[in-house]
Each structure stands twice: as C-alpha cells, then as structure tokens.
C-alpha cells in the first residue's frame, strides 16, 4: 500500500523567508506527483504536477523536485508572503488515476 508522509506537519516562518516542504512516498511505481494548496474550509487547488519522468517543475515562486528512486519530493516557495499561509498537500498518482495523499504541511507566514 502506498504511504505518503509530509514533514513537518506544521511550521511558521517570517515573511520573506524561503519555505521548504518535504514529502516522501513508499512505492516508487507512481505516474506523477502533485502538490495542492488548501485554504481553511475550501477545496484543493493544484499548484504543480511533476510527471514520473521529470526531476522538477517550476511556477513563479514555486519549485518542486522529484526523486522517484528515493521516494521524495520537495516543494520550495521563495520569498514567502502572508498570502502563502495555507495547508499544502502532496499526492502521488498510481493506477487508474487514483491519488494517495499525505496529511499536509500547515504553513503560517508571519508578517
């Protein structure tokens, strides 16, 4: 069974610092890995998708890396802003487009 772990569960950083969120998974037989953002009481918004053949993906201040062989991904958010405060979810896609999720990194950016 695919297990996805996110560390740390919660973190607070001062505005302007870079954020580093970690995700690990137990089975390297994945199609891709997605990072989502979830605001309190809201749905999930896809931030980045990395195909299993890729090593990283970038969008604006966000950069995500994938090391499939070691079962790890890292999401970097440069120059954090208070608007980045949210929960970030890592999910891997396996057979039939099913997702296995981590429990999330709850981020607070302090002004």
Which residues are at the interface with other proteins (CB under 8 A)? Answer: 31-32, 34, 36, 42-46, 49, 51, 89, 91, 93, 96-104
Q: 12 vs 42, which CB is nearer to other proteins?
A: 42
Question: Considering the complex, what minimum distance in angstroms separates the CB of residue 46 from other proteins?
Answer: 5
> Phi and psi at residue 60, in whole multiples of 5°?
60, -125
Q: 55 vs 103, which CB is nearer to other proteins?
A: 103
Q: Output DSSP code: residue 15.
A: T
Q: 69 vs 97, which CB is nearer to other proteins?
A: 97
| DSSP 3-state of 25 | strand
Kindly give the residue spans of alpha helices, DSSP state H, lying in the chain: none
Question: Considering the complex, what minimum distance in angstroms separates the CB of residue 96 from other proteins?
Answer: 5
């Amino acid at each position: 069974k695919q297990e996805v772990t996110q560390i740390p569960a919660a973190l607070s950083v001062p505005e302007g610092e870079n954020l580093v969120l970690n995700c690990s998974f137990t089975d390297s037989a994945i199609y891709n890995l997605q990072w989502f953002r979830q605001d309190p009481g809201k749905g999930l918004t896809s931030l980045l998708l990395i195909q299993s053949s890729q090593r990283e993906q970038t969008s604006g201040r966000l950069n995500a890396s994938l090391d499939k062989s070691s079962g790890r991904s890292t999401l970097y958010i440069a120059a954090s802003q208070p608007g980045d405060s949210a929960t970030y979810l890592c999910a891997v896609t396996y057979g039939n487009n099913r997702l296995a999720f981590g429990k999330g990194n709850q981020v607070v950016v302090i002004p």
